[in-house]
Amino acid sequence: MDRYCVFGNPIAHSKSPAIHAAFAAQTGQSLTYEARLAPLDGFAAAVQAFIAEGGKGANVTVPFKLEAHKLAQALTVRAQAAGAVNTLHFTEQGIIGDNTDGAGLVADIVNNAGVAITGKRVLLLGAGGAARGVVLPILEHRPARLVIANRTVATAEELARQFAALGGAGVVSGCGFGQVQGPFDIVINATSASLQGDLPPLPAGVFAPGTLALDMMYGAQPTVFMQYATGHGALARDGLGMLVEQAAEAFAMWRGVHPATGEVLHQLRAAL
């Protein structure tokens, strides 16, 4: 049986084994998928050990996405642009690195939430690893504009410069939270502020009635960002759909078949 896993530290909380087991059952694919704790100073060795055991591919989560990017011998365009890798494919040609986070986010917005990105005003909060991974997939949907706002302003400006050079000129810009001028049709919280129960300090007028506000974080309760957005007339959504969709993208890369995600998302939501 083909073997896959997810590497992280910590990893016990990971929902990826359940998601991939559901995809395998649904598509009739014969495979195993486990969670593997990699030592903080031993990611590359853990990957090599898994390959030696016959591993065919792996997902990579916090804190190893940058190391996975370095380890890969070939990168997809979106992994190159993201500067981070969340999916490894072990092939006869070597280790291929991909980044499916952005495609997962876009699939959740377009297919699950039913909100088109094309022609819309999009605000991306944060400029860390998660934000970096979603910029190119958003730009590929041709938004009217994409504003990247971050606590450390220089990081947002640098990210915007990088993606302006990659085809986003005239569309993408970077600034601090205080300089954001709304309203926006889609607001994505890719900061880790929700982890501490904090809210990025947004100026008034960011949300309008019907704005889609998506927090990449998920949990049993709405995050403080989701509550704030709902209070300002937005439709709030958490990151569980993105999680399932990025897994589906990885599964498709490995197995050549794209699983249906609706039922899996429904089951995960019920188990939160």
Residue ranges of the annotated binding site for NADP(+) are 126-130, 216, 239
Enumerate residues 6+ apart whose C-beta is below 8 A from 158: 127, 174
Report, in angstroms and rounded to the nearest whole number, the Rg of the chain calculated over CA atoms. 18
- The binding site for shikimate consists of 14-16, 61, 86, 101, 218, 246
Site string for ligand NDP, 41-80 (x = CB under 6 A): ----------------------------------------
What size, in residues, is the chain? 272
Q: For ligand NDP, which residue of 38, 243, 248, 265 counts as binding (CB under 6 A)?
A: 243
Gap between the Cα atoms of 95 and 92, Å rounded: 8
Is 150 or 261 the residue whose CB approaches ligand NDP more closely? 150
Which of 139, 62, 147 shows the shortest CA–CA distance to 106?
Answer: 139
Q: For ligand NDP, which residue of 8, 57, 102, 126 counts as binding (CB under 6 A)?
A: 126
Residue 259 in the binding site for ligand NDP (CB under 6 A): no
* Site size for ligand NDP (CB under 6 A): 27
Q: Are 117 and 186 in contact (CB under 8 A)?
A: yes
Site string for ligand NDP, 161-200 (x = CB under 6 A): -----------------------------xxxxxxx-x-x
Residue 155 in the binding site for ligand NDP (CB under 6 A): yes
Q: Are 96 and 77 in contact (CB under 8 A)?
A: no
Enumerate residues 6+ apart whose C-beta is below 8 A from 176: 149, 150, 151, 153, 156
Q: How far is the CB of 69 from ligand NDP (least distance, A)?
A: 13
Which of 5, 244, 214, 213 shows the shortest CA–CA distance to 104?
Answer: 244
**Joined tokens for residue 44:** 């590359």
Q: Footprint of ligand NDP on this chain (CB under 6 A)? A: 101, 126-131, 150-152, 155, 190-196, 198, 200, 216-218, 239, 242-243, 246
